[in-house]
Structures are given as C-alpha cells and as structure tokens.
Structure 1
Amino acid sequence: MRLEDVWLRYRRGGPWVLRSVTVEIAPGEAAVVLGRNGAGKSTLLQLAAGILPPARGRVDGRPAVVGWVPERFPAGQPFTVQGYLTAAARMRGLSRIEADKAVRGWVERLGLGPFQCVRLPQLSKGTAQKIGLAQALLRPPGLLVLDEPWEGLDAAARELVPEVVGEVLAAGGRVLVSDHRGETARLPGAREWTVADQTVTERVPTGERAMVVVELAIPAARVADAVHRLRAEGHHVLRVRGHDAPPPVTRLVSGAAVEESS
C-alpha cells in the first residue's frame, strides 16, 4: 500500500495538516507513527485507513479489509456489546454463523463476557477500547490501523496488543500504529514514520536490537507504578510474579531474551 504525494487540510483555504507525503508499507510489515501531539499522526492514520480522503495525491493498494481502532472508541451508541459486535461482524460480510463465532472468540479473548448485555455508554473507557479493538478484528484485516491502542487498557489487554499485531503480520497483513506510551518498543523491526512540519520522514530498521532480561525485586505496593514507568520508558515487562513463584528460566532466541516457566 502506498500514499503517493498526499496532501490534506480540513477545510478549503485552511492550513495544510500534511503536505507531499509519500510512504509505503508492504504485506507483513508494521510501521510505528511518531510525532508530538498535534503533529498529524491521527490524520495520517485516518488517511491510510480510508476514513479521510486526501485533498491531493492518492492512496494505492489499500487492502479490501481494513481494521480501524480510533484513539477513543465512540461508545455513545444505543447498543449492547453483543448487539454492536454482532452487527459489526455482519456489516463486514460475515454470515450469521461466522459472525457469532467471531464475536464469541473476541469476547472470550478480551475478557468481555461479563459485559455482553451492557450498553456501550455504560462502559468504562478501558472496556470501550476493548470493544474498539474487537470490532477491528472480527474479520482478519489486510490493514490494521491502531491509534494509541494501549490507552486505557488493563495490563492483560495491553499484553495482547503486540500478540495481535504479530498475528496480522504473520497472515500477510500490514499494521500501522501510533503510541506515546513507549509500548511500541515491543514491535522490533517495525518501520518508523515521524510526522513533523506537515510531512513524514521514514526510518527503516537495520536489524533487531539486542535484548537483555533483568529481574527486579519491587515492594508489592509499588509494583503497579513501577510497571507503568518501565513501559513508559520503552521497556518490555515480560511478567510479574509473586515472591513464592518459582524463578523463570532465561534463554536467548534469535537474539531476543525470553523467559520460560521452569
């Protein structure tokens, strides 16, 4: 998929948000969109997803199935979780049997079972974000676009995001993701698109970074704060265990350190 000399502004005669942007992403590739707040990251993602049309230029090769996860899921809709996800699956062309199976799978995987009969406006922000993630994945996307997908999610759901990204890439899909939390450090090998001064520059990774596993002992009352700060600094928290759990076994796989239960 390629964005070719794309320009965008929100009103005729208004300031350009993006100018002369040319980037591309191939099947099986991920790109992380970086930049300060207000630089145009969300605008770029919406252009790629087809939410916004360019004022100039064109977007070629966009896959037929696009999964779009906005930064804040629009939860002010008069549907239950079950009803919304089922309707979304049907709109994506799934049969009733396929829709029911897809909804059940993502409800279970995201821990949404207790909320199936709850109406969307009654959900917390984190639970609503899970609905946003689920609806984008009901049909396997050829392009998955994630705008700050970790925002508001609980620890278990945050760990699921890179897993889902890996599955989309393994199936030959493309993934675009923005993030200000440093969570995208867990997507080694991703391209980097930096949005600044109304345009986009790209850095292509030259290879995987070496990783080292460090085990820390932290007082129980400070665990949540420590995990938050480590992730914000770009570290990957593999797991948190209690003092009575057996120690992990560490080994190296393809240059990346992995912990296994003994």
Structure 2
Amino acid sequence: MRLDEVWFRYGRRGPWVLREVAVTAEPGQIVVIEGRNGAGKSTLLQLAAGVLRPGRGAVRDRPPVTGWVPERFPAEQPFTVAQYLAAMARLRGLRAAEATAAVDGWTERLGLAAYRHVKLPALSKGTAQKVGLAQALLRPPGLLILDEPWEGLDGPTRELVPELVAEVAGAGGSVLVSDHRGETARLPDAVRWTVADGRVSVTVPAASPMCVVELAVPVAAAADAVAALRAAGHQVLRVRQREAS
C-alpha cells in the first residue's frame, strides 16, 4: 500500500493538514506513526484505511482485506457484541461456519466471551476497544491499521497487541500503528513515519546482525513450524525435505 503524493485538508478553504505525502508500507512491514498531537497522524491512518479521500494524489495498492481500528470504537450501536461481530463477519465475506468460528475464536482470545450478549453502549471503553480489535481481525487482513490501539485496554490485552501485530506481519500483511503512550517501544524493528508540518519523513531501523539457523522438524509439523517462526518475527529462507539416508 502506498500514498502517492497525497495532500489532504478539511474543507475546500481549510489549511492543508498533509502535503506531498509519498510513503509505502511493504508486505510484512510494521510501521509506527509518530508526531505531536494534532500533527495529522489519525488523518494519515484514515487516508490509508480509505475512510478519508485525498484532496490530491492517490492511495494505491490497498489490499482487498483491510482491518481498521479507530482510536475510539463507535459503540453507540443497538447490537450485542455477538450480533455486531457476526454482522461484520458477514460483511467480510465469511460463510456461516467460518463466521461462527472467527467470532468464537476472537471473543475467546480477547477476553470477550463474558460480554457476548452485552449491548455495545453498555461496554467500558477498554472492552469496546477489544471489540474493535476483534472485528478488524475476523478475516486475516492484508493491511491492519491501529489508531492508539492500547488506549483503555487491560494489562493482558496490552501485552497481546504486539503479538497480534507480529502475526499479521508474519503472514505477509502490512501494519500501521500510532500511539501516544510509549507502547510502540514494544515494536523495536518497526519503520517510523514521523508526521510534522504536514509532511511525513521515514526512518528505517538499523539492520541487526543476522545468522542462519537450520531446523529439522517432522514433515507433518512443517507448516505449523513455519507459521510460528514467522509470527515470532523470524525470516524463513526456505523449506526443503531431507532425503532419506
């Protein structure tokens, strides 16, 4: 996904919030959005998600499945948690059995099982934020966009967010995430996009020394092993079957 010379302002005569933004999020890349309050971080994320349209330029190559978690989940909706997630699963194109499995899996993993039949307006901010995370992940996203995802979350779920980010990136998705709490320190290998004075500068982390480790696993366990290694942030160079001696 790339922003190609994107400009944006609110209203035809308003000042330009973003100007000449030309950045790319590569598959498998984690990008942290930095900048002072009011610099345009949320605007940048909404442009990437397709929530806003550029005044000039274009957003290109956005993956067909994009997960978007706004800073504040829109909880003023007349649905229970289960009803809302089931409806979102259908909108994501999941079949009935797939939708049920996805909703059950994410409500359990994010600690929402006890809230399945609670209406969204009755949720605390942190619990509503978990619902926002769940709906974004019901179908594996090619692009995951998180605007202040740690806000209001309990300790265990805050610890889980970097794991979720690593899983999406390990599966080849791009992840954009902003934060003002200092939680993005948990993503040390992320590329940094800094928003200042309407422009975006890019900082790539220095490459750390690499080594190659060969692992031997049973053939039946190979796919799970590869998935686990990628989810942990490791690069899998190749998979080969050893000839019998």
TM-score (norm 2): 0.84
Counterparts in 2 of 1:208-219, with a 5 A limit? 208=208
Provide the C-alpha distance between the structure 2 equivalents of 1:111 and 1:29, rounded to a whole number of angstroms.
27
Specify the alignment match of 2:43 in structure 1. 43
Provide the C-alpha distance between the structure 2 equivalents of 1:208 and 1:86, rounded to a whole number of angstroms.
43
Provide the C-alpha distance between the structure 2 equivalents of 1:40 and 1:147, rounded to a whole number of angstroms.
12
Shift of residue 208, structure 1, vs aligned partner: 4.6
Counterpart AA for 1:175: V
Provide the C-alpha distance between the structure 1 equivalents of 2:16 and 2:54, rounded to a whole number of angstroms.
11
| Superimposed CA distance per residue, residues 108-128 of structure 1 (whole angstroms, 9 cap, x where no aligned partner) | 001111100000000000000
Provide the C-alpha distance between the structure 2 equivalents of 1:60 and 1:124, rounded to a whole number of angstroms.
36
Hey, which bits of structure 1, 4+ residues long, moved more than 4 A?
A: none
Q: Secondary structure at the match of 2:16?
A: coil
Q: Is residue 189–residue 208 contact of structure 1 (8 Å, CA) maintained in 2?
A: no
Provide the C-alpha distance between the structure 1 equivalents of 2:60 and 2:115, rounded to a whole number of angstroms.
39
Provide the C-alpha distance between the structure 1 equivalents of 2:183 and 2:13, rounded to a whole number of angstroms.
37
Specify the alignment match of 1:68 in structure 2. 68
Provide the C-alpha distance between the structure 1 equivalents of 2:111 and 2:206, rounded to a whole number of angstroms.
37
Residue 29 of structure 2 corresponds to residue 29 of structure 1: yes
Residue 114 of structure 2 corresponds to residue 120 of structure 1: no
Residue 53 of structure 2 corresponds to residue 53 of structure 1: yes
Counterpart AA for 1:200: V
Q: Is residue 188–residue 208 contact of structure 1 (8 Å, CA) maintained in 2?
A: no
Q: Secondary structure at the match of 2:107?
A: helix
- The verdict on how the C-alpha distance between 1:75 and 1:208 changes in structure 2, with shifts beyond 3 A counting, is farther
Specify the alignment match of 1:2 in structure 2. 2
Specify the alignment match of 2:84 in structure 1. 84
Specify the alignment match of 2:156 in structure 1. 156
Provide the C-alpha distance between the structure 2 equivalents of 1:207 and 1:112, rounded to a whole number of angstroms.
38
Gaps of 5+ in 1: 210-253, 255-262
Residue 199 of structure 2 corresponds to residue 199 of structure 1: yes
Specify the alignment match of 2:189 in structure 1. 189
The percent of aligned pairs where both chains have the same amino acid is 69
Q: Is residue 6–residue 19 contact of structure 1 (8 Å, CA) maintained in 2?
A: yes
Specify the alignment match of 1:105 in structure 2. 105
Higher relative contact order (CA 8 A, sep 6+): 2
Q: Is residue 34–residue 195 contact of structure 1 (8 Å, CA) maintained in 2?
A: yes
Provide the C-alpha distance between the structure 2 equivalents of 1:91 and 1:25, rounded to a whole number of angstroms.
25
| RMSD of aligned residue pairs (Cα, Å) | 1.1
TM-score (norm 1): 0.79
Specify the alignment match of 1:165 in structure 2. 165
Shift of residue 150, structure 1, vs aligned partner: 0.2
- The verdict on how the C-alpha distance between 1:208 and 1:177 changes in structure 2, with shifts beyond 3 A counting, is farther
Residue 30 of structure 2 corresponds to residue 14 of structure 1: no
Provide the C-alpha distance between the structure 1 equivalents of 2:29 and 2:145, rounded to a whole number of angstroms.
12
